[in-house]
A and B are shown apart, each in its own frame.
Chain A
């Protein structure tokens, strides 16, 4: 029998990356900024988004795509704070969102009335790091109830992220969490990382976060 070897050398991420590039182009054409929020479960992503929707939801025309393995609890929580669309993706077991799911979610969003989209990814510090969704940047949310060595344990996520929100700062006095060490570890992995220090629950640091979002969104509404 004649066994032939076929050299393929085809990236396993090629299809996802094609779709992500199309998402990026579509958002760029529509003048919409999209951020991909990534973190471990329980870091406070949803609370941060709730506060953000209350403060800026209308002003910045914010839409949200949430990803969860099961339930649309996060989407339901967020929908209470906005009349705008919150699109839930239930991954049914998958540990991350991919560009195909985001493409389908965008089909449900009126981009002409939207200036900022948050993707709230599945709570997981491993897999979502590998998947480009067409976002402008990944933002890693990292709470002070976690170990300060998270950036060293999950370097790819911190390397892939351009911004880090260190959340639950109100709890810092009660915890054995070394903030300087945590930021140093994060910078060791990614020297370019920019930080925000927030308490999404009590509001500390949110003004700076809101200013940042305003600065990243196009100047004029496209409604």
Chain B
């Protein structure tokens, strides 16, 4: 359940960013410290569930394990719908 709270917080932060940078969300990167008290497979599953539905529509979630107790939304990849430069 703790992991679900965190996944929902990732969703909230991503929504805030998408308001500033509209586009289709492609990938979401999350960093999880080895001492963060989080079960990574469980969090990955919760993230998958959160990002499967609206308004995210199946964005891929990438979870990276790092030393320490880091727990953060690391990056977003957004398709802005414009042609490549």
Which residue numbers of A lie inside 8 Å of B, CB to CB? Answer: 1-13, 15, 93-96, 98, 126-127, 129-130, 156
Enumerate 18 A-B pairs (CB-CB under 8 Å) in ascending A order.
A2-B83, A3-B26, A6-B21, A6-B78, A7-B75, A8-B17, A8-B74, A8-B76, A10-B73, A11-B72, A12-B71, A12-B73, A13-B71, A96-B2, A126-B37, A127-B1, A130-B36, A130-B71
**Chain A residues with CB under 8 A of B2:** 94-96, 126-127, 130
- Additional 6 contacts, C-beta under 8 A, given A6-B77, A127-B2: A3-B79, A5-B75, A8-B17, A8-B73, A8-B74, A95-B2
Partner of B84, one of A1, A9, A12, A130: A1
**Is B6 an interface position by the 8 A CB rule?**
yes
**Chain A residues with CB under 8 A of B84:** 1-2
3 closest cross-chain pairs (CB), A and B = A127-B2, A95-B1, A6-B76
Which residue numbers of B lie inside 8 Å of A, CB to CB? Answer: 1-2, 5-6, 9-10, 12-13, 17, 21, 23, 26, 30, 35-38, 71-85
**Chain A residues with CB under 8 A of B77:** 3-6
Q: Which among B1, B26, B79, B85 has the greatest number of chain A C-beta atoms within 10 A?
A: B1
**Chain B residues with CB under 8 A of A3:** 26, 77-79
**Chain A residues with CB under 8 A of B17:** 6, 8
Partner of A156, one of B9, B10, B30, B35: B35
**Does the CB pair A8–B83 fall under 8 Å?**
no
Given contacts A6-B76, A8-B76, A96-B2, contact A129 B21 (CB under 8 A): no
